[in-house]
Every structure is written in C-alpha cells, then in structure tokens.
Structure 1
Amino acid sequence: MKTIHVALLATTALFAVPAVAQTAPVGPPAPQPPVAAPVTPLSPHQDGGAPADAGPTPVTEADVAPDIVVTGSRVRGAAPVGSTVISLGREDVIASGAVTTDRLIKQIPQVFDLGVSENSRGQSGGNGNITYGNSVNLRGIGPYATLILVDGHRVVNNSRSFDPSAIPTLGLERVEVVADGASAIYGSDAVAGVVNLIPRRSLNGIELTGRYGTADDFNQWQVGAAIGQRWTTGQFMVAYEHVYRSNLSGDDRSFFRSDQRAFGGNDYSVTRCAPGTITAGGVTYAIPAGGLTPANAGSLIAGTTNRCNDLIGQDLIPEQQYDSGNMTLTQEFGDRVTLFADGFYSKRKFVRQPASQAATLTVPQTNAFFVRPAGFTGTSYTIAYNFINDLPINRNPGSATNWQITPGVRVKLFGDFEAEGIFSLGRGNDQSNTYRGVTTANLNAALASSDPALAFDPYGLGRTSSTTLERISNSIFLAPTLNKFQGYEARLNGTLFQLPGGGVKLATGYEGQEIRTSLGSARGVTGTPIVFRKFQRRVDSVYAELLLPIFSADNAMAGFQKLDVNVALRHDKYSDVGKTTNPKVGVTWSPTRGVSLRGSYGTSFRAPLISQIYGNSNNLFVQTYQNPSGSPIVGVALSGANLDLKPEEATTWSVGADVDVGRRLRLSATYFNVDYTNQVEAYLSDLAILSREQQFAGTGIIFRGTDAATRVAQLISSGIGVVGSLPTNVTLFVDGRNNNLGKSETRGIDFVANYTLPTDTVGTFQFNLSGTYLTHYKVAITENAPLIDRRNTIFFPLKFKARGAISWDLDPIKLYVQATHVNGYTNNAVAIPQKVKSYTPIDASISWDIGGRDGSGMLSGLTLGAEVRNMFDIKPPYVNLAPSGNGSGGYDATVASPIGRELAVTIRAKY
C-alpha cells in the first residue's frame, strides 16, 4: 500500500447546528449561533417576517452555546478559527425563490457552473453526468472537488457526486459553505471547500408552500408541505416537495443555431442533412429536395452540397420532475442520553430530447435504390445523412433515486466530555437509458441489400420498409449505477485543561465508510442483458483537533482582545488507493474591538472516484467537435478504465479580515491560494478540446489522420464497441479516459459588504455586495507542462463574479432587488478569438404578509409573493460556438441562462 504524503491544511470553520447539538425544549426555537464572518445573505428577510440581520458578525465563545458542535471545526462550543463561512439561512431559502436546493446554492458568486449541471456537460467531469444532475463547483476548481454533507455527515452518491436537490428546500434550515480546503476535518473531496445542508429542527407547526413560474416556452412549479412538533425533550420534523420543470428546446431560442452569421459568427452547418450529400470519387453532389432516382440522376450537380442544422429538436434543459422528502428527530432520555436521527428520500426523473440521429453512410452499388452519378465508375460512395424523416428520436429517459437514514446517540461523560456514535445507511440508483439508437451492423446490411423490402433508401423518398427501419433503430444504451453506503462515526468532545484565555478543547474520533458500487452496461440490440461490474471500497479514518484560546475576554490586553489557534490532524486509509495524513492550522486574532484578522494553511486531497478508476463504460463514442479553423469535425473518443489513477493533492492557504464599522456597516475580505496537483482529467465530453490541441502534444490524448484511424482500428479489433455511426475515414481520436494529467493554481479575493439603514417611519433598508475576483488562474495539461493563464477564457473560471442587493422592509410589505454580474471574457475556441460581453441579469421580488407580523386569525400565517427573474429579459451574450450535444452553442451554458425572463407567483402558509 503506497503512502501519500500531504502537508499542512488550511483551517476551515463551517458553522451549523447539527443534529447532535440540538437540545432545546419545546417553545421558542433552540438558540442558534451567529454565523462566522463573512456571511453572504441572499435576502434580507427572516423566516417569521422580522427584518433580517444586517450581515456578518465575528463569532466568539460567548456567541456559541456550550452544546453546539460547529460542523467546520468538530470542537463543541467553539468559535471559527482562521476561516470564512457563506451562510444561507431559512429566510434566504424562502426569499430566493429557488425551487430546488441546488439552484439556491448556485446564487452564491463562488459557485461556477462548470462541468456537472443539467445543461452543461462539456467540461471536466461532465461525461459522468449521465442523469443530468447538479453538483457544486466552488471557484471552478473542479466539479468533484467540493464535498457536500448533510447535517455534518457524508451521504450516499452516484459514485460521482451528490445532487443537493435531494434535500427539499422546505426541509432545509440553512446551507453553509466553506470555500477553503477541509480534508483535515472531513477527508477526501474537500479540496475547494465544503457545503453543509442542515435540515430543519426548529419547526413547530405546519408550513405549506406553492410556486408557479413561467417564461417563453418554459415553466416550472413547486408544491410542498412540512410538519414539525417540538416538546420538552425533543422534536420531530418531516417535509416533502414536488417540483416540475419543463424542458427548454433549442428550437425555441434563436441563438442555438448552426448558421450563426446573423450574429456575426460562423456558419457551423453540416452536410448530414435530409436529403443528404453524396461524395463520389471526391466530388460532392447535393441530393435534390424531392429525392433521387436513376430517372433524375442527371439533375445532380457536381460540387454542390446540402447544408443544414443537425441539432433540430435538441433540449437545452431536459424535462425534470423531483419528489423529495426529509425528516429529523431528537429525543432526550434523562440528563445524559440523547437519541437523534435525520434522513431523506429523493427521486428525480428526467427526459431529454436529443436531435435526430445522423451519420455518414457507405452506400455500395448493391443497394436496391442505388443511383450512379454521371461519370462515376466506383463500386460505392458515401452520403452524409440525417435520419430525421426515417427513425424516431432516440429519447433519453432516466432517473436518480437516493435515500439515507442516519441515527445516532450522544452520551454525557465526566466533566463536559461527550461521546457520540453515528451510523449511516444509504442507497443510490441512477438510470440513464436510450432504446432507439442506430445499430451499425443492421444499417450496413440494409445499405448493402439488393432486396427493396430489406434495403435502406438514403435518397429521400421514404421507400424503406417499416420492418427494416425497426431493425436499424433497435440499439439500446442502458447505464444503471447502483450504490450502497454505510458510514460509522465515533466522536469524543470536551475540555482538557484551562489556559488563562480559556479551556483547551479536544475533538477526536473515528470514521469508517463502506462503499459498494455496481456499474451496469447494456449496449447492443434490443434484449441485450445488463452486465454489472461490482466494486467496493473501505475507508478508515481517525482525527484529532485542538482549540487553544491564547487570549480572550478573561485575559485581554492592548493589541490582543482575542487570539485563538486551531490545529488538527487526520489520517485516512483507503482499501484501493493508499493512505494520507493531513494536518491543519488556523489563527484568528482580534487586536481591537470590531476587527478580526485570520489566516489558515494546509493541504487537501481527493481520492479518485470508483467510476473514474474503472470507467462508466468501455466504448468508442462518435462525436462532433468544435473546429477552431473551420467546420465541425466528426471524431471518435474512448471511454474506459484507468487502474493507475492516483489521488489528487492540493495546498491551500488564506488570509483575511472582518471589520465592523459601527453597528450598521460590516466589511470582510479574504485572499485565497489553491495549488492543485495530480488532477484527474477526462476529455470524453470536451467537444472544444481542439482549441487547446497544441497543449496535448506528446500526451497521447489527441491523434490525427492515419494515427487516429490506426488507433481506432486497434481498439475495435480488441473488442471495444462503437456507440454511434463510425465515420468512413476516421481522422480524429480523443482518449477520453480519466488520467492524472492536470495541475492548476488559483488565487483571488472574496469580499462582502453589508449595510443596514433603519428608519422610524419608512422601514428598514439593507444593502449587500459580495463577490469573487480571481487574480490568478493557471493550468497545465500535465505535471511537467508549462502553466498557461486560462482566467477569463471560455469554459474556465472568469475573473469577476459579484452580486449586489437592495431590500426594503416595511411591515407587511417586503421588496427585494438584486443584480448578478459576470464579466466579459475571451472565446478562444475559434480561429480569431472573440470578446464575449458581460452578463448582468436583474431579479426583483415583493411579498405581502397578509396578517402582518403581529396579526392573528386565519390570515396571520399567510404570505403572498411575486417575483421576476431576469426582469429586463437580458439575452445570453452571443458566443461564436457550434451547437453541441453537451450544452452551449451560440451561448455559453456555463455562464448564462437560456431561459430568459421568468414571472412567478408564490403562496406560503404557516400554522
């Protein structure tokens, strides 16, 4: 077993009230710790209608109740040390208008839509997103480099990532995000940071909600209910939501077109049309619109082609339906024992409408309908062809089902020490299927047949028999992924001894994970059985963390109002990829009241996913690639296993300051640095890879010409199947398997500013500004390759993202307006780089508490609301990019939304 040596990790402190920490009696909600600065509220409204807090406040030991276990530091009753937290409270969940939790999180400026989302699959990691789910990509560092937790513990995933939408928004107390490495606290995956989804435990009553939103050719709606009961020694809560989102077709958006000359771009039209284009003896002939027979063969004109948009009917956003529910439970037994539990169930169903299938056909002279162009003496030729008039659309239905239950027990020991035991049991089931793909062997047989009843007619006259068409389109593609997860945790927490500044606190424990993954595959004619490959992984981890309060209110002196030091050590042992040890250190220093300085340093790691090591499939995929120098190119990409994958490693550090200017203005800034090495990269879904072709020289990732044809022939002869119709002449090959190729350097500044202005007569005004500015982002294709600046280029992190908001609260009316800004950047996927404009949509909402804050009676708990997203219907900035089956085309799906202006109404009732 090899050892991975990892050095010091950056401290992170993610504040939450986890399941094991709630012990408040029935009545008012349990006391909540203030959130560590800087906080980025999405709205100014509190759940109960009271004005929201103005913004971030530094947390001291006095702010945190002794029974609270802060999820970022593991130390019970501790304040944050050295790190920042972005917190979205219950009031933010309500005012955001987000119909699912993943869309709530995407409103945070530090979250980039690169790789794993429902409409953007063309970047690193996107090829594994076969169910069109959403994950979190902090700062664009990587789609699998952010760890997502539920109530502070790990959860089952689909062998790739966890979709936050599994937790309904109605059952969510808050979301907290640490945009900093955290492997010393949580282990693998916490390279870019941690997202903690904290379920509700404060609800005492019934809450109902409904929302309907509509935009041009798109709509979505949400209904939900939550019931909570609190009593002297415990609580129970259960929530359920149903969400429906219609599809959005590319046909309904003018920018998603092959011919983009009207926008000042290129003509990306192809010759795979209906009718198609013959290439015989190197000469092209456009098949006439009325079809082709020997009788009108003389109408063929040499040198002509048919050109068209081959992505007609393709969805930009698939149709999705969500059913999700979650629960929490807490019960005390005497003074020393508390039982607790949380759980969730989610099933997300989708249907994605692709474009019609297309291929380059080889038509021999034996074909029953063969037409010979004048002067052509060969025995066969090719036709670039689209099956839109012959075969059904190969729709892609599927689902993602996840459930988990996590019970635990907490026991009070000697002194203030407490022991906890937690067990998690979860299951995941991903299904992604197609049933009417082209079977290449049957197609070739039909093209060669001299029997009109069995032959395929590629000349546009629809003479192919229904039996033959059925036989040609009987290829299935089934890709189930089954996951089983068991987690074990044992924790010990308490004060070791006293220093002048306070008690030295210890948190230590053990975590175990058992992961079993079954990767299924059925690719072939109808009836091909699913073959499962089964894998398992065992992870054993131990950790210890110390909090040393050097200065506090007990011994404060000039220049040292507060000084905390946090150190931690974690060791993880994997059954398949080795072991790693990660320490961390963090410091928070307050030289004077209202000013807090902090810093952290350390390392993180990410173990390669089982699906990355062994591959979701072992196939050659025929795909169309963006060509910087001309028309798109049909190439062949390989997916499969790479048993030599190693863990990724990162060194992270940050420094920052939080300042309170009086009681109304709060400012915060953090400078961060992430050096990421040994990154696992896969280029299966990267259809713009040719824009960086020179960087791949010598890596074996891209082959051209005869080298590409030879490589593809070798793979086919070894038994690897082909998905799609193989080009007659293969000229491009891409190795799309996962490899430890990349490294990156990311540096930048996060900032937050909050200002509150209360008035005596016209209510309370609040102003918020938050964002991220990248000062440095360089990547290298391999460890030894030169680092290249990719900041502000297409499909890489952008320099500047920010959000500004203004709110007005005058009971019973609340008004909220926010603008989200994404700066312009360079599209270098074309021969002449294009400057893409910035994008700044503006949202607004208004709500009316019918009964007012102090109202009573039937209407006291009723709130009506209206909102408009993208109020001025700002179109996505035009991007000169060929339409792609993996997202984007005429616009950049990683930056802008294709939906446009959306109007919505909401109703919420609380009893």
Structure 2
Amino acid sequence: MKSIRTAALATTGMVLLGLTPPAFAQQTTPASEPDVQTPEAGPSTITQDQVEGDVIVTGSRVRGAAPVGSTVIALGREDVIASGAVTTDRLIKQIPQVFDLGVSENSRGQSGGNGNITYGNSVNLRGIGPYATLILIDGHRAVNNSRALDPSVIPTLGLERVEVVADGASAIYGSDAVAGVVNLIPRRSLDGVEASGRYGFGDDFHEWQVGVAVGHKWSQGQIMLAFEHVQRSNLSGDDRSFFTSDQRASGGNDYRVNRCAPGTIIAGGTTYAIPTGGLTQANAGSLVAGTANLCNDLIGQDLFPKQAYDSANMTVTQELGDRVTLFADGFFSRRTFFRNPASQSATLTVPQTNAFFVRPAGFTGTSYTIAYNFINDLPINGNPGSAENWQISPGVRVKLFGDWEAEGIYSYGQGEDQSYTYRGLTTANLNAALASSNPATAFDPYGLGRTTEATRQLISNSIFFAPTLNHFTGYEARLNGTLLSLPGGDVKLAAGYEGQEILTILGSARGVVGTPIAYRYFTRRVDSGYAEVLLPIFGSENAIPGFRKLVLNAAVRYDKYSDVGKTTNPKFGVNWTPVDGLTLRGSYGTSFRAPLISQIYGNSNNLFVQTYQNPGGSPIVGVALSGQNLGLRPEEATTWSVGGDLDIGSRLRLSLTYFNVEYTNQVEAYLSDLAILSREQSFAGLGIITRGADAATRVQQLIASGIGVVGALPTNVTLFVDGRNNNLGKSLTEGIDFVANYTLPTDNFGRFQINLSGTYLTRYEVAITENAALIDRRNTIFFPLKFKARGAIAWDLDPVRLQVQATHVGGYTNNAVTVPQQVKSYTPVDLSIAWDLGGSNKRGILGGLTLGAEVRNLFDLQPPFVNLAPSGNGSGGYDATAANPIGRQFAVSLRAKF
C-alpha cells in the first residue's frame, strides 16, 4: 500500500513533466512562489511594497497583494537553514507567538492533549487553543488525523518558506483560522541538488538527519523532489534529576506515593510497609503499624518518545502556451514512535483466600488492600505507533481576459494514525489471581516473585488499540483579477468555491488479547463560497500629503457543514501610509471553528484510571470518562487588531501590532488534564468533577451501562472527572506583537544583522462557561505566558557566518499547589557557525559545501524548578510547556549544493 501511494506521487509528477512542450522564451513565476525577500536571520513581516508580480501571500486571496490590516510573519529559505531545526514543526516553534500547549510530543496534559495519541506536534498561536490555528500547504488544506496537521509532514529541505498570519482569517480560509494561519510553501525555485546531514547529541539523547532535494527549472516550468529522514532518541525521566516525586530538596513537596515494590498493606485503616526482602507469615511480626513504603511511581517513563520521520514532497509546474499552466504539489510522510510509560501500579484487594496471604498481627478481617507497583512482575507496557499521511494536489491555471485568471485545484489525501499497547492490566484476571488459593494461579503481592509466568501473562493481557483513518477530498475553483482602475490603483476581486469531503474512521479495541477492532465511520461535507475585494483609495498616482497610500479590503465567506450547520464570516482591513516609510493598519473580523469529528463522537468510550495532582497533598487516583457529545456546536470568535510598520532607510524595520481575540463556545475536554483539581472551584455545579460517594456511584453506573475500564480501578473511587468534549470555554486575549530587523553592512568587517521578535499578553481571561465570570489566567501554569521573545545577532564575513540567538520565556505563577510558587524565567542561548568550505567564491572541489557547528542551550541551563508532581502526560519538577528538558546539545552538519 505504501509503495502504491509513493508511486502515485511520482507518477503524477512524471505525467505533468511529460506534457512539456518545446521551450518558450518567456519564464514566469508560479503563483505560489512570491518574490518576497526576508532577512537571513530571524522572522520578518511582509508588506505590500515587498510583493511583486502575480503572487499570492498568505492572508489574502487577491493576487499581488499582502493582507490588508494584518501582518505576515515570514521565515525564508535562509531562515530555515539557519534555524538548525531538524523538522518543520520545530522550526515553527521558534516563533514567539507559538505556544507549546495542547498538541505536543512532550506535553499532553492540556486541552486537546488527550487526542494526541501518536505524540505529534501542531501549532498553537498565542496559546488560544490547540485547534484554533489553521495549517495550510501551499495555500490549500491538507489531510490530517481528524484533529490537527503536524507540520513535519513537509521536510525542511522541501520547504521554501513559512508564512504566519497571527490574525483571525476565517473570512479567507474558513474553519480553524481563529488565532491565525500557518502556510507551508514548498520549493519551486530549486535548480540543482541540495543534500544535508546533521548529527546532534546531549546527555542521554541524540538525533540525526539526512536528506536530499533535487530540482530542475526550464523556461516554462520546474520540478522538485525532496526527501528527509530524521531519527530521534527518547529522553527518559530517569535521566533527568528534576523529574522526581520527592522535590523537598528544591523547596517543593514530597509527591511520593505508597504504590511501590514492595508495596504497602492497608488493613483496617492501618498501614504496614512490606519489608524489602519480602513478606511471609513467618516474618509477619516484622510489620510495623503506621509505616508505609514511599516511592516515585513513574520510574522508566519517557519525557518524550523515540521517533523516526520519513518525509517527502514534490512540486511540478508546466506552462502550456501563453495561457494555461499545470501545477501540482504532494507529500508523503510516515512517522513512527515508541514511548516507554512508567511501570503499572494499582491498589490491590487481597482476600484471605490468596495462596500467599499474610495476616498482620491483630488483624481479623477477611481481606485488605495493598498499594502496589508491578515493576518487578510485569514488563513495561510500551506504546508503539505511527502516523502516516499523503496527499496529491494537481491544478490548472488559465489566463482569461485582461489580468483575470481562473484556477482549479483537486486534492486527495489519506491519513492513518496507529497507537497500541499490549500488556495492560486485566482487572478481572488480576482479581481472580489475587483470590486464588492455588500457588500456580495466584498472584504474589508480597515481593518474593512467586507468581508463575503463566499468571503474569494472564493478568497483563489487556490490549489498547486506537487506529484513526482519514480520507480527504478537496475541490477549489478560484477567480482573480481587476474590476476597474481608480486613481489610487486597481480595484481587484478574488472569489471562489471550496468543497471538502471528509471520511473519518475511528477504531477501538479495548480488552484481552484477541479483542477485535471495532470501527465507526463518519462523514462530513463542507461547501464554501468566498469573495474578497481590494480597494486602493490613494496610491502613487494620486498621493497627497498625509495620504501617500490608503488601501481598504473586505472579505466574506459562507460555509455550510453537513453535520454542524452553516456560518458566515466577514473581515475588513485598512492600510494607511501617511508618510513614506510608515504604514498604519487595522483589521476586524469574525472567525469560527467547527468541532472535530473525533470531538463530537469521541475517540473512545472508556473510563480511564489516572493519577491527579492534588493541591492539598499527595496525588489522588481518579477515574475519567471519554466519549461522545452529539450536542457540540461550532466555536466562534471576534478578532480585531491595529498596528504599524516603520521602515527607516533600507536597514531598520520595526513592526508593532495590538491584537484582541474574543473566543466563545470553546470546546474543552479535561480527559488528560491531571492538574484540574487546582481549579476545582471553577467547575462547581457543572458535573465535571465529582467527589466521594457520588463519584463511586457515577463510575458504577457507567460500568453497568457497558463502558469499559482502562487501568485498575481503586478499591474506593473518590474522584470522577467527566473528560468528554463540551462547549464550556470562553476566553479574551489581548496583547502586543513586535518585530525589529536591523542590517549593518561594513566595508571590511562583513555584515551584521540584529533581529528581535516577541509577544506580550496584556490580557488573557477565561471562563469555564459562557455565563461564568472571566478569570485572569495569564502567566499561570499551563496557560499562555505574559512574555515570550526571541533575539538573534548574526555576523557574515565570507566565507563564515556566526549567529547567537536567545529565547526568553518569562516567569510565571504555579498555582497548581496550595501555596502558589513563582517560577523563574527561562532564557537559553544558542550559538551556531557556518563555513563555506569553497570560500566566498564557492569554487573548487569544496565549492557548494557548507560545514556547520551548533551548540543549543550553550550554558546548559536547566528548566526552572516547578513544584509539580510528575505525571503520565508530561511535566513534573519542571514545566514541559515552557522549558526544554534536554539541556545542552551539540550538533555538526554538512550541507552541499550542486
């Protein structure tokens, strides 16, 4: 099947290539290849004056126009190279407006994280929501896993540019563009061969990358193929001292639990620590009442999993005469992973019928419980899996009359996510083994290893399969051209239709080995129409003092969903240039996000046994429900922004933007939020958190209705969390984005470049429900932080380039503990050097070869300490959403151009 998909991409490219007519004299630039220059070190913003020719820039459908009222943050080809990022998703995470909240390989405890069963990455602009950012490939939608698109499906070698519009854009692109849009633009300019190799390592960690891109251009077209392989090791929590349960030495709490090996007996309300050498009735006298074994129950857990990426993409363009152009782009990506979880633990009910039963002195009951860890009895319940995606998008562009063009694009793609576990606890078999009086079939919980292998297999034969398959078909028809000419310039119109057909197949197998996978099939049809008008009032031909330029823009889009209704969203923008070099701008619009199919119907329908952070003391074992909610409605947002761009000569450019996003009907799920108890009062009366006897009753009702349990239920359930998706949330986000680029050329000392970009939140308030009071969550743990910035200084003196860059994450408050903790800021510094081995003229046998060396986190800065219990979904002793646990990393690379 994989070979067929790969062949389909290659065949399409060869078919279009085979249509090549005799060479013509004129060469044009494809619409997806704007001639936009960006600095060589760090992101910049694109303005209208930088856009040339028949190009499309993200944020506007109008050909030859940058978005009016909004800015475009651009990372060009040189930025991709200078970043040292081994995958595209890590390149994008270097932008300060991107927050690592929700869909992330190393942090799954936030909203949206529970659906990230393949440990992928996506983009969360400003932390507004894990699915509130739309990711496009060359301006069109791409197949995903029914939740989010992982940018790593496009190899860095096949990437020409990344454009980010951090502004609501549903009037232009439809659903998901609430916080903004990220457009991955593949290469069409490559003429030759590029190859690269990179090896990086840190303490107990390594990664490597190899890739090649081949491109050829001729007078009327081009073709490009790129491939990359990336291998990344896991990082175990055992290898980082800050990922620990006992945090007293750092000023934190003691989060150790009594589910250990050996375990702790709880008999008649009294605890007894089982001795290290094990327990039999002969040494029962050694049990001491009131003692307990305390330990870290997350031994062996990965902070992030081992991953391997294979990604490829292609582009083809071919002009047929003067009016018709055929083009296509496509990609294939397969990412595999293996994650080591912690050893399984549970609170066991041990009846006196157990073959190895030991009765503490004075205990007269018929059973007691043992808090226990299976680290010495069962293998790690490892979690392998994969994410595979491919898509092909051929199209045709036809020149009509005047400058009018019509364009049609057809896209088809498939995605397949697979996630497995094979050795989970089987509660019924475990209880049977605990009750067995036969040593051959009984389970020994007393630390002497007397359980037979057959019994061990029997109590850990629970499988957990969660395949998700997606088929995506997209249709696009566009019309673009000039309506009329005014003294201020040409009035332009872009209009079009888009259709989407989506088939999502959710699979589930929960039970003993041999349980078949049950599949559920869901379809969605989306029909959309849009129009956008660009109206220049003042321009070069009629400029007057105070109005060098004035451009207005209006867009509207109608979307009709087969399952969640219809919506209409407008957007208005204005650019005003009162004097040369200064542009003031503003925008206003509405946006929406349709609930995901997986959110409506639930990826699974199960009860999950989980350990929750407890602000008042030791972690609590609770039970969370996942499942469907057929009443979900689309999320809605109102966005507006004002700002300005200032060009001082050709060396300095400053950009400042104030933004405001009011987001309502937000779909929230708390299945993976293991710190939810820190906000328990906010959920009063909603039925999300249930305590005590009511929790036990609710869980038993759900079990009686046929809902299965993943994990071993505690003897006494005291905590229940409804983890299903609900339209609960509302948020208000305000802040300031800034970008500064400065270039200083010298006669004898090369060229210096300084780049600074960041975002400062002036407001981030959320409400659990529409009618609840807004609460300031800015600068609190697992919510958007007040200040993030990135600065870089680059020095080019042929043939050497040296760059130093720093990323700053501001300090914040950890309010997940009873006494809030102030977490320190985090500012790692990176150093890189590149040397053109062929010299400044790039000639000779070494011409085209560039040797690079890099040190990430130069000063080996450890993540700031966070008083937080380690959890199965990331963080613990540190905050995985705000700091990197790897530490200092070294890397060497070699890049070749032919």
TM-score by length of 2: 0.96
Deviation of the 1:66 alpha carbon: 3.6
Deviation of the 1:500 alpha carbon: 1.4
Q: Does 1:395 align with 2:395?
A: no
| Kept after mapping to 2: 8 A contact 1:122/1:687 | yes
Alignment of 1:465-544 (within 5 A): 465-544=452-531
Match of 2:559 in 1: 572
Match of 1:173 in 2: 160
The one of 322, 346, 361 equivalent to 2:348 is 361
Q: Does 1:878 align with 2:865?
A: yes
The one of 275, 299, 302 equivalent to 2:262 is 275
Q: Does 1:786 align with 2:773?
A: yes
Deviations 1:712-762 (A, max 9, x none): 111011110000000000000000000000000000000111111111001
Deviations 1:174-209 (A, max 9, x none): 101000100000000000000000000000001010
Alignment of 1:619-638 (within 5 A): 619-638=606-625
Letter in 2 for 1:851: G
Alignment of 1:354-503 (within 5 A): 354-503=341-490
The one of 659, 680, 697 equivalent to 2:646 is 659
Deviations 1:673-731 (A, max 9, x none): 00000000000000000000000001110000011111111101111000000000000
Match of 1:104 in 2: 91
The one of 164, 180, 183 equivalent to 2:151 is 164
Deviation of the 1:35 alpha carbon: 4.8
| Kept after mapping to 1: 8 A contact 2:46/2:72 | no
The one of 63, 69, 90 equivalent to 2:77 is 90
CA distance in structure 2 between the partners assigned to 1:162 and 1:603 by the alignment: 23
Match of 1:845 in 2: 832
Letter in 1 for 2:490: G
- Kindly, what percent of the aligned residue pairs are identical? 79
Deviations 1:482-512 (A, max 9, x none): 0000000011111111111122111101000
CA distance in structure 2 between the partners assigned to 1:317 and 1:871 by the alignment: 22
Match of 2:685 in 1: 698
| Kept after mapping to 2: 8 A contact 1:34/1:59 | no
Alignment of 1:581-660 (within 5 A): 581-660=568-647
Match of 2:201 in 1: 214
Over 3 Å counting, the alpha-carbon distance change for 1:33 and 1:482 in structure 2 is closer
| Kept after mapping to 1: 8 A contact 2:245/2:254 | yes
CA distance in structure 1 between the partners assigned to 2:74 and 2:543 by the alignment: 29
Over 3 Å counting, the alpha-carbon distance change for 1:42 and 1:218 in structure 2 is farther
Q: Does 1:687 align with 2:674?
A: yes
Alignment of 1:760-771 (within 5 A): 760-771=747-758
Q: Secondary structure at the match of 2:48?
A: coil
CA distance in structure 2 between the partners assigned to 1:817 and 1:24 by the alignment: 46
Match of 1:58 in 2: 47
Letter in 1 for 2:755: N
| Kept after mapping to 1: 8 A contact 2:34/2:53 | no
Deviation of the 1:59 alpha carbon: 2.1
CA distance in structure 1 between the partners assigned to 2:285 and 2:492 by the alignment: 90
Match of 2:276 in 1: 289
CA distance in structure 2 between the partners assigned to 1:909 and 1:69 by the alignment: 30
Match of 2:319 in 1: 332
Letter in 1 for 2:877: G
Deviation of the 1:27 alpha carbon: 8.8
Match of 1:152 in 2: 139
| Kept after mapping to 1: 8 A contact 2:96/2:789 | yes
Letter in 2 for 1:322: Y
Moved more, 651-660 or 847-856: 847-856
Deviation of the 1:58 alpha carbon: 3.2
Match of 1:546 in 2: 533
Letter in 2 for 1:242: H
Alignment of 1:887-902 (within 5 A): 887-902=874-889
CA distance in structure 1 between the partners assigned to 2:188 and 2:827 by the alignment: 37
Over 3 Å counting, the alpha-carbon distance change for 1:446 and 1:343 in structure 2 is same
Alignment of 1:294-333 (within 5 A): 294-333=281-320
CA distance in structure 1 between the partners assigned to 2:894 and 2:349 by the alignment: 59
Over 3 Å counting, the alpha-carbon distance change for 1:469 and 1:25 in structure 2 is farther
Q: Secondary structure at the match of 1:134?
A: coil
Match of 2:181 in 1: 194
| Kept after mapping to 1: 8 A contact 2:495/2:532 | yes
Match of 1:756 in 2: 743
Deviation of the 1:670 alpha carbon: 0.2
The one of 813, 836, 844 equivalent to 2:800 is 813
CA distance in structure 1 between the partners assigned to 2:707 and 2:566 by the alignment: 34
Q: Does 1:137 align with 2:124?
A: yes
Q: Secondary structure at the match of 1:560?
A: coil
CA distance in structure 1 between the partners assigned to 2:201 and 2:571 by the alignment: 48
Deviation of the 1:854 alpha carbon: 2.1
Match of 2:7 in 1: none
CA distance in structure 2 between the partners assigned to 1:549 and 1:709 by the alignment: 66
| Kept after mapping to 2: 8 A contact 1:26/1:231 | no
CA distance in structure 1 between the partners assigned to 2:688 and 2:491 by the alignment: 53
| Kept after mapping to 2: 8 A contact 1:338/1:410 | yes
| Kept after mapping to 1: 8 A contact 2:696/2:717 | yes
CA distance in structure 2 between the partners assigned to 1:34 and 1:55 by the alignment: 15
Deviations 1:314-344 (A, max 9, x none): 0001000000000000001111111000000
CA distance in structure 1 between the partners assigned to 2:44 and 2:153 by the alignment: 28
CA distance in structure 2 between the partners assigned to 1:75 and 1:89 by the alignment: 21
Deviation of the 1:80 alpha carbon: 3.0
Q: Secondary structure at the match of 1:467?
A: helix
Over 3 Å counting, the alpha-carbon distance change for 1:910 and 1:414 in structure 2 is same
CA distance in structure 1 between the partners assigned to 2:572 and 2:64 by the alignment: 18
| Structure 1: segments with no counterpart, 5+ residues | 1-18, 45-53
CA distance in structure 2 between the partners assigned to 1:548 and 1:521 by the alignment: 53
CA distance in structure 1 between the partners assigned to 2:188 and 2:296 by the alignment: 53
Deviations 1:42-61 (A, max 9, x none): 726xxxxxxxxx9556323x
CA distance in structure 1 between the partners assigned to 2:24 and 2:826 by the alignment: 46
CA distance in structure 1 between the partners assigned to 2:663 and 2:142 by the alignment: 25
The one of 327, 333, 341 equivalent to 2:328 is 341
Deviation of the 1:855 alpha carbon: 2.8
Match of 1:677 in 2: 664
Q: Does 1:562 align with 2:561?
A: no
Deviations 1:546-580 (A, max 9, x none): 10111110111111110110101100000000000
RMSD of aligned residue pairs (Cα, Å) = 1.5
Deviations 1:590-623 (A, max 9, x none): 0110000000001100000000000000000000
Letter in 2 for 1:592: V
Deviations 1:81-133 (A, max 9, x none): 11111110000000100000000000000000001100000000000000000
CA distance in structure 2 between the partners assigned to 1:250 and 1:121 by the alignment: 15
